[in-house]
């Protein structure tokens, strides 16, 4: 049962793709005296079945979490266009 001191923190997709997002989240916790209790959800989406350079996908995900890779495109929210395209 949640207490009145519990809160839910959710990062926007835009923030998740910015450099140092993990460090910024840690700084947020420290600044406001928050203590993480659990992680209930992590979303990862890969639009490929394999890496062009032959890298194992588990290795790629691990390296992404360690911030060895960054998303190049800017996150954008837009309604779908007629026919399903952007």
Query: Per residue in 52-85, pLDDT tens?
Result: 778 787 887 788 778 777 666 555 544 455 654 4
What is the average pLDDT across 25-51? 78
Q: What is the pLDDT of residue 30?
A: 93
Which range in 11-25, 40-54, 69-83 is most confidently predicted, on average pLDDT?
A: 11-25
Contact between 22 and 67 under an 8 Å Cβ cutoff? The reply is yes
Phi/psi of residue 35, each to 5°? -125, 110
Contact between 69 and 61 under an 8 Å Cβ cutoff? The reply is no
Among 22, 68, 23, 71, residue whose Cα is nearest residue 47? 71
Q: What is the pLDDT of residue 31?
A: 95
pTM for this model (two decimals): 0.46
Q: What is the mean pLDDT of the chain?
A: 74
């Amino acid at each position: 049962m949640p207490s009145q001191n519990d809160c839910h923190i959710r990062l926007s997709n835009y923030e998740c793709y910015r450099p140092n997002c993990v460090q910024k989240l840690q700084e947020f916790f420290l600044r406001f005296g928050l203590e993480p209790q659990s992680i209930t959800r992590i979303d990862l989406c890969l639009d490929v079945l394999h890496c062009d350079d032959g890298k194992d996908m588990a290795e790629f995900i691990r390296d992404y979490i360690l911030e060895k890779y960054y998303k190049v495109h800017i996150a954008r929210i837009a309604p779908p266009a007629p026919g399903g395209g952007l």
